[in-house]
């Protein structure tokens, strides 16, 4: 008669219901933790490991990453739209200003002049050099410089 010895590692578990301590082979215990299948204590009480399986956790992480990427893409699209609208607005303001100047309206004091070029050189020397942005141009157009208002 041959004798075979089998060595295995048992994981000790206590039943939630009756409190008996029993052992489950470690590999089997790992599988039960991963797939959350039911198992029984020696007295017949059904139990299982709670929580998410690794596959569920991976799917959840992937879903969060996909949502983050989608939100990032939407944010970039909104920012691009805002920048496009801003550029259109600045171009439109520049065009309106150029058209007013072509028609002889002084951008500094909003008065009409037949000889606008001569007026700008004589009354507002350096006006185009010192104003570099539309916001500066608007800030130079104050109510005290505008005789048409008020």
Contact 8, 19 (CB under 8 A): no
| H or E segment to which residue 72 belongs | helix 54-102
C-alpha span between 20 and 97 (Å, rounded): 89
CA-to-CA dists, residue 77 to 63, 73, 74, angstroms: 21, 6, 5
SS3 122: helix
DSSP secondary structure letter of residue 143 = G
Count of beta carbons in the 10 Å neighbourhood of residue 41? 19
pLDDT per residue of the chain (150 residues) written in tens, 0 to 9? 788 888 889 999 999 999 999 999 999 999 998 888 999 999 999 999 988 888 888 999 999 999 999 999 999 999 999 999 999 999 999 888 887 887 778 888 888 887 777 777 777 766 555 444 555 555 555 444 444 443
């Amino acid at each position: 008669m041959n004798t075979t010895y089998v060595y295995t590692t048992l994981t000790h578990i206590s039943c939630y219901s009756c409190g008996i301590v029993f052992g489950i082979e470690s590999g089997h215990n790992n599988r039960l933790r991963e797939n959350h299948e039911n198992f029984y204590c020696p007295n017949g009480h059904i139990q299982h490991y709670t929580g998410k399986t690794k596959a569920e956790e991976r799917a959840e992480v992937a879903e969060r990453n996909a949502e983050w990427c989608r939100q990032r893409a939407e944010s970039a699209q909104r920012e691009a739209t805002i920048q496009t609208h801003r550029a259109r607005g600045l171009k439109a303001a520049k065009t309106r200003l150029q058209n007013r100047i072509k028609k002889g309206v002084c951008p500094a004091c909003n008065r009409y002049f037949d000889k606008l070029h001569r007026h700008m050189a004589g009354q507002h020397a350096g006006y185009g050099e010192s104003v570099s942005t539309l916001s500066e141009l608007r800030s130079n157009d104050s109510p005290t410089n505008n005789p048409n208002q008020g």
